[in-house]
Structure 1
Amino acid sequence: MIIPNTCERKFYNMTDQFNTRKTLLMRAKDPNDQLAWNEFVEYYSGFIQMLLHKMKIPQQLHDDLKQEVLLKIWKALGQYEVKQDIKFRTWLSVVIRNGILAYMRSYRKRKNRESALSEESLFNEENFEPSQVEKIIDEEWANYMVSHVVEHLRQFFSGKAIDVFLMSSKGKSTQEISDDLQIPANTVYVLRSRVKDRLLIEMKNLRQVLEF
């Protein structure tokens, strides 16, 4: 059996240790609980990185911008109430979007038009109206969740099972997968079905912690 990496061990140990889906958020709101904040960052920083790439933010700005967004989340987190009507992921999306736009506005002010033109051409605020950003966030969140779970599934499946599932998700036919991996077509069906069933279970578990 493949041993999960450090991030995966932390995530699933955390779900075993804390039995409610809101526990990490409640702990992360405590400014004195550095461990909880570190775990929070570990779960969400990858998602922020994916958004920056999708929104075509210049690569050289990613590190600073991600830190700025995380700082804004940390400052705003204490104001979020779990029982309020807005879902946490929706609230988080608004904070991330506002953080990105605020940073880019500030960036433009620091650069003169000539030196910043080539970088700014990659980022047009008008293309990121709330509805457009929400669409991007929904798409990237789904991708982020699936990629996170697929990595975790490697501890449950050995051999070519994960390869079968990933190739299938990219549109390859059963016969193409069979030929590429040199396994019988009926084995492709079985492995794909097993991985998919387990993925649905793990997606549900992950959403209980990261989405509510």
Structure 2
Amino acid sequence: MYGPCIATGHCESANQMLSTSVSLLLRLRSQNDPSNWDRFVRLYTPLLFHWSKRAGLQQEDAADLVQDVLTTLLRKMPEFDYDGQKSFRSWLRTVTLNHWRDRLKRRSTRPLPAMEATEEIADEDGLGHLIDAEYHKALTTRALELMQSEFRPNVWKACWEHAVQGRPASDVAVELAMTPGAVYTATSRVLARLRQELDGLLD
């Protein structure tokens, strides 16, 4: 269950998350720091597993597909040129679909269908229809989970309950022994960090 800010983007804080300064992408491309890649893997693995399961893959096959996709991303990430026009989400979709088709090709004894038919099969299985709202919800929620240790417990909890769960600030304030203003401030702080983490990845 997602609150209105995360689920729909129809609030100021969620709209601000769509800015594109590509900080994580730049770190992955320009810094030889394994922690950046580890962060990326922890961020995207649940989403890739979800897509793989929607495509009808069993656990073992889904794990193999996720590993193939991540291996390709590790190799190709320096080549991804973010210019404000290209979509990282679309690029990720293409990489995932290509590996999914490769797995079908290796297992099939019949010729693969034409590209258009393959797209239809992918759409039916859910892999080819990566809805923007679903992608945004999954990524923002997972990123918030990963950032929990970066904030005091009540600050992170205030943001989670208000922005993700959609609870009124007044109710959250009572539960956490804060003022409603403090809930708004905490939410703003966490979402600012979220924007920084996901810049360029939500497009």
* Partner Cα separation in structure 2 for residue 129 and residue 62 of structure 1: 12
CA RMSD of aligned residues (A): 3.9
**C-alpha contact (below 8 Å) 1:51/1:140 kept by paired residues:** no
Q: Match for 2:27: what amino acid?
A: L
How far off its partner does 1:141 sit? 3.8
Report the equivalent of 1:88. Answer: 88
How far off its partner does 1:89 sit? 3.7
**C-alpha contact (below 8 Å) 1:49/1:62 kept by paired residues:** no
Q: Match for 1:109: what amino acid?
A: S
1:172–1:197 CA distance, 2 compared to 1 (3 A): closer
How far off its partner does 1:139 sit? 1.9
Report the equivalent of 2:159. Answer: 165
Question: How do residues 54-133 of structure 1 correspond to structure 2 at under 5 angstroms?
Answer: 54=51, 55-56=53-54, 57-77=57-77, 79-83=79-83, 85-103=85-103, 105-106=104-105, 108-109=107-108, 125-127=122-124, 128=126, 130=128, 132-133=129-130
- Structure 1 stretch displaced more, 38-47 or 67-76: 38-47
Matched, 1:50 2:44: no
1:198–1:67 CA distance, 2 compared to 1 (3 A): same
Report the equivalent of 1:147. Answer: 142
Report the equivalent of 1:189. Answer: 180
Report the equivalent of 1:201. Answer: 192
Structure 1 gaps, min length 5: 1-18, 29-34, 111-123
Q: Give % identity.
A: 13
Question: How many corresponding residue pairs?
Answer: 166
How far off its partner does 1:177 sit? 4.8
1:188–1:100 CA distance, 2 compared to 1 (3 A): farther
* Partner Cα separation in structure 2 for residue 211 and residue 78 of structure 1: 18
Indicate the structure whose relative CO is greater, using CA pairs within 8 Å and at least 6 residues apart.
Answer: 2
How far off its partner does 1:95 sit? 1.2
Mark the structure with the bigger radius of gyration.
1
- TM-score, normalised on structure 2? 0.58
* Partner Cα separation in structure 2 for residue 59 and residue 76 of structure 1: 26
**C-alpha contact (below 8 Å) 1:165/1:195 kept by paired residues:** yes
* Partner Cα separation in structure 2 for residue 83 and residue 165 of structure 1: 31
1:195–1:59 CA distance, 2 compared to 1 (3 A): farther
Q: Match for 2:122: what amino acid?
A: E
* Partner Cα separation in structure 1 for residue 77 and residue 22 of structure 2: 18
Q: Match for 1:206: what amino acid?
A: E
* Partner Cα separation in structure 1 for residue 94 and residue 133 of structure 2: 12
How far off its partner does 1:45 sit? 5.1
Q: Secondary structure at the match of 2:91?
A: helix
Q: Secondary structure at the match of 2:138?
A: helix
Question: Which of 21, 26, 34 lines up with 1:23 in the alignment?
Answer: 26
Structure 2 gaps, min length 5: 1-20, 110-120
Q: Deviations over 1:88-145 (max 9, x none)?
A: 3432332123223433x147539xxxxxxxxxxxxx6342374x22x0x652344323
1:166–1:24 CA distance, 2 compared to 1 (3 A): closer
Q: Deviations over 1:63-92 (max 9, x none)?
A: 222111123334544654445942334323
1:58–1:172 CA distance, 2 compared to 1 (3 A): farther
1:101–1:170 CA distance, 2 compared to 1 (3 A): farther
**C-alpha contact (below 8 Å) 1:52/1:62 kept by paired residues:** yes
